[in-house]
Chain A
Amino acid sequence: MMNFFKRKSSASSAKERLQLVLVHDRTDLTPAQLESLKDDLLKAISQYIDIDPEAVQIGLERDGRSQRLVADIPLRSASHHRAG
């Protein structure tokens, strides 16, 4: 009966948790290090172009056995910038 009220099956928790753990194990990068990598990356990019830090998404993704660092960094439009 208790199972009925559980939000999520244990198999999907296991899979989600493993997805995260394996990405960090494989890259030898802790979540804290990834955060500081993001900060440094944003600082470096901001020196050249105007970006919206709130909209930035940076994360590790798996593709079979390989990992990639995927960044989606929307730019503030130049006209908007000049007008502002």
Chain B
Amino acid sequence: MTAQVITVTSGKGGVGKTTAVANLATALAMDGKRVVCIDGDIGLRNLDVVMGLENRIVYDIVDVIEGRCKLKQAMIRDKHYPEMYLIPAAQTRDKNAVSPSDMVRICKDLRPDSDFIIIDSPAGIERGFRNAIAAADRVLVVTNPEVSAVRDADRVVGILEAEEKGNPLLILNRLNPAMVKNNEMLSAEDVLDLLGIQLVGIVPEDENVIIGSNRGAPVVNDAKSRAGQAFRNIAKRLQGQEVPFMDFAQQGGLWGAIQRLTGRK
């Protein structure tokens, strides 16, 4: 069996790509999958700290590409899940040190011994983004329910269409159900209608996400966290399982019930 290569991208920075990669990878590893994460953000490495692996880096992806080490030597094993690895980005180099064909080659070498390869794309639509999508079998677009993030996500979806990268899947991150209820935040339905792509998960705003990244322990490890639950559900969907979407309207009590009855969003 060969791995599925999944690239996580967004256009806009700061919407939660790296958090999504760390959490989805961890959730897949919790399900017993062999996972390799690749930090595609050359020069602005971050996946290592979010995963709590920053002290273990010896070699990075540019060392692999330039032949200073073997691929295996740049793969950092996770502290808790022995079948999960990180290939860190280079911190002192620029994005031109990697080409799309380098990414394709690295993923090809990783495929036979993994189930999932998850690539963290940098923000933007330039070289680093092109590298990140080059080897992708499937692209996840992360956005927030905000005008700037949705607009940039739409640009990225347009480029993915032009590049014939298949149908991207949407992760709507940092949804605040209370604000949606008060009509002061775009709802999941609004964002889906605007972007016109398929949804793979809605992640509610949850302070446990920041607590998790403070500790270098992704929030999926927290059984009680709503965001953690949302990421665990997305990981199941990526494995082809049907998982119902979490119902945030239920938190809305009576008003939520009325809205559901009247078919309003």
Contacts and interface: CB of A to CB of B under 8 A. Distances in A.
Interface of A: 9-12, 14-15, 17-19, 21-22, 25-26, 62, 64-65
Interface in B150-205: 150-151, 154-155, 157-158, 161, 180, 182-187, 190, 193-194, 196-197
Contacts of B194: 15, 18-19, 22
Contacts, number: 46
Contact of B184 (A11, A21, A25, A26): A11
A21 B180 CA distance: 22
B103 to A, nearest CB: 26
B7 to A, nearest CB: 19
Summarize A's interface: helix, strand, loop or mixed.
helix
Q: Which of B147, B157, B187, B197 has the most CB of A within 10 A?
A: B147
Given A65-B196, A65-B197, A9 B183 contact: yes
Given A11-B180, A65-B161, A18 B147 contact: yes
B187 A11 contact: yes
B147 A11 contact: no
Given A18-B147, A65-B196, A12 B154 contact: no
B147 A14 contact: yes
